[in-house]
Amino acid sequence: MKSRSAQYLLRFDDLCPTMSRERWQRFLTIVTRHALRPILAVIPDNQDSELEIDDADPEFWNRMRGLEANGATIAMHGYRHLCESSGKSIFGLHRDSEFAGIDEATQRKWIQAGLSILRGHGLSPQLFVAPRHGFDRATLSALASEGLGFISDGFSTRPFTRHSVVWIPQQLWEPVNKSSGLWTICIHTNTAHSALADKLDSFLRQSAEHFVSFDDVLRNYQPSGLDWTERLGALAAIQRVRRALTR
């Protein structure tokens, strides 16, 4: 594929009925202002007490359906967001995980249950987002078996295929100017401060035309395996993130 100027995906994590509505609204206003079509990483059955910030929003699922109808993409963000396993994940960025280290049969049941919940609320999940980047080969196998063949993760600069799944890379947690490649900016609205919202809004005022949707990525990229130079680049990126997390 010919080189192109940098493109960006925007992803919001930890969306659930008890999330902070005030902080979510701050970012939703920006999404609406710039007509973005983000990835919405929705927890099917949240049981993480740290995400019980507000009383459950009775309109949450209706709001998610409305955003999806307007072009956003729904991702299944784990199952219950309970990171209680110490199993080794592919990236090893965090000690605890929801999925890594769990036997494949159980992971598959969780994925089935999560998909059923989201679909039961009228949503159409297109890809998987693992809490804390925590997943292993069994997770990928279970996802492929359940027909959820896309995952938002990885540190390359383009979509790629690995273990029967298409990876849409996610490498940033705030806007950063890049010259080329596809970059996903992941924002956790429950903990994001107003300064990040201001930074995102300012970045979009200059670069909104470079933001794409998941559907755009499917149309414009032809994922394939990474070559050795791309693998080395992705490994170097992972090591940088690991160092940042241990500071």
Number of domains in the chain: 1
Q: Which tens digits make up the pLDDT trace of 181-195?
A: 999 999 999 999 999
Would you say residue 183 lies in a domain?
yes
For residue 17, tell me if it sits in a domain.
Answer: yes
In a domain, 1, yes or no: no
CA distance 144 to 131: 18
The number of CA neighbours under 13 Å toward the Cβ of 53 is 15
What range defines the domain where residue 46 resides? 7-245
Asked if residue 38 belongs to a domain, the reply is: yes
pLDDT at 57: 97
Place of tokens 């969780």: 110
212, part of any domain: yes
pTM of the entire predicted model: 0.92
The share of the chain scoring above pLDDT 70, in percent, equals: 93
The pLDDT > 90 percentage for the chain reads 74
- Mean pLDDT computed over every residue of the chain: 91
Residue 87 clears pLDDT 80, i.e. is over it: no
- What is the rounded average pLDDT of the residues 199-207? 95
pLDDT tens digits for 13-68? 999 999 999 999 999 999 999 999 999 999 999 999 999 999 999 999 999 999 99
> Which pLDDT band holds residue 104 (cuts at 50, 70, 90)?
very high
> Which pLDDT score is estimated for 4?
62
Encode 146-166: b = buried (16+ Cβ within 10 Å), e = exposed: bebebbbbbbbbbbbebeebb
Q: pLDDT tens digit string along 131-187?
A: 888 889 999 999 999 999 999 998 889 999 988 899 999 999 999 999 999 999 999
CATH of the domain at 44: 3.20.20.370
Is 96 part of any domain? yes
pLDDT, mean of residues 240-247: 64
Q: Does 231 reside within a domain? A: yes
Is 2 part of a structural domain of the chain? Answer: no
Confidence (pLDDT) at 234: 76
- CA-CA distances (angstroms) from residue 152 to 127, 167, 170? 7, 6, 6
